[in-house]
């Protein structure tokens, strides 16, 4: 589901970019189990900062960065630093039906995307399908109580199908052969996590 104007403003700005570059990127990299992830996929790349972080901090030789919204892909292309032109390819793709072959990627990244899905379970199934065995899934997501908060409900648009709590998420990963190998839980509000496909 596409973002509304308020969500675009809070995700595409220098403060968010700096947090992704200097806090989330290094933290998730430390949580992962491999030195490098040569072929990486990002779902819901938004304005494209995450793809640049993956290219610079996760040892990716190639990043396929995807988003369901063509406007976001155009924005990400405009924001791309010229020196990363060869490394990052942007594509319009729905993460619930990825146009990528089975077992192709060393890592899949989702920075705050699954809660925008009409059916987040479909996306988890797709992520598992395109990950190599031993490949890692890096993600950060808010949980249902956060999304149901009055202020969040008033200012943002999120589909019901993107809501989950920790146990539901953990079970879905297990069902799709992804083991949680490292995580940081922020109470029942959000999670930063790395899963590995077995
Ligand atoms: C909250 S933004 C996060 C953007 C970026 N990852 C970041 O951290 O700044 C969620 C993004 O997911 C995209 N999105 C929503 N549903 C999607 C889907 N089914 N497939 C792929 N991308 C989707 C939206 O267009 C939006 O760019």
Give per-residue pLDDT as tens, 149-190.
999 999 888 999 999 999 999 999 999 999 999 999 999 999
- 29 located within any domain: no
> Does 32 map to a domain?
no
User: Is residue 171 situated within a structural domain?
Assistant: yes
What pLDDT does residue 2 have?
83
**Does ligand 1 come within 6 angstroms of the Cβ of 128?**
no
Could you tell me the strand order of the sheet in which 178-186 lies? Answer: 88-92, 62-67, 39-43, 105-111, 131-142, 190-197, 178-186
- Whether the CA torsion 4, 49, 55, 83 is positive or negative: it is positive
Q: Are 11 and 62 in contact (CB under 8 A)?
A: no
Region label for 187, one of left (φ > 0), alpha (ψ between -120 and 50) or beta (otherwise)? left
The whole-number pLDDT of residue 75 equals 95
Task: Categorize the per-residue pLDDT at 97 as very low, low, confident or very high, splitting at 50, 70 and 90.
Answer: very high
Summarize pLDDT for 72-85 with one digit per residue, the tens: 999 999 999 999 99
Closest C-alpha residue for ligand 1 atom 10: 113
Question: Is it the case that residue 86 has pLDDT exceeding 90?
Answer: yes
Kindly state the tokens that stand for 132. 């190599």
Within a domain: residue 119? yes
111 lines ligand 1 (CB under 6 A): yes
Distance 191 CA to ligand 1 centre (A): 17
CATH assignment of the domain containing 64: 3.40.50.150
Mutate to test the pocket of ligand 1, among 12, 96, 113 (most ligand atoms within 8 A of CB): 113
Higher-scoring residue by pLDDT: 11, 65: 65
Residue 154 domain boundaries: 5-13+38-197
- The Cα–Cα gap between 153 and 176 comes to 30
Count of structural domains within the chain: 1
Q: What is the number of other CB atoms lying within 10 angstroms of the CB of residue 39? A: 15
pLDDT digits (tens, 9 = 90+) for 101-121: 999 999 999 999 999 999 999
pLDDT tier for residue 20 given thresholds of 50, 70 and 90: very high
**Ligand 1 pocket member 65 (CB < 6 A):** no
In a domain, 19, yes or no: no
């Amino acid at each position: 589901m596409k973002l509304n104007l308020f969500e675009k403003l809070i995700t595409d700005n220098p403060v968010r970019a700096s947090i992704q570059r200097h806090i989330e990127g290094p933290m998730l990299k430390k949580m992962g189990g491999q030195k490098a992830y040569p072929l990486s996929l990002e779902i819901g790349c938004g304005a494209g900062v995450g793809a640049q972080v993956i290219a610079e901090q996760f040892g990716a030789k190639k990043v396929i960065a995807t988003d369901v919204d063509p406007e976001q892909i155009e924005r990400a292309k405009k924001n791309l630093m010229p020196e990363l032109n060869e490394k990052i390819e942007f594509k319009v793709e729905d993460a619930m039906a990825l146009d990528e072959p089975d077992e192709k990627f060393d890592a899949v990244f989702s920075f705050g995307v699954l809660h925008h899905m009409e059916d987040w379970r479909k996306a988890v199934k797709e992520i598992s399908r395109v990950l190599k065995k031993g490949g890692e899934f890096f993600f950060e997501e808010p949980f249902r109580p956060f999304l149901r908060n009055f202020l969040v409900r008033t200012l943002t648009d999120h589909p019901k199908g993107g809501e989950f709590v920790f146990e539901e998420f953990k079970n879905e990963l297990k069902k799709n052969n992804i083991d949680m190998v490292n995580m940081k839980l922020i109470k029942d509000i959000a999670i930063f996590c790395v899963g590995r496909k077995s």
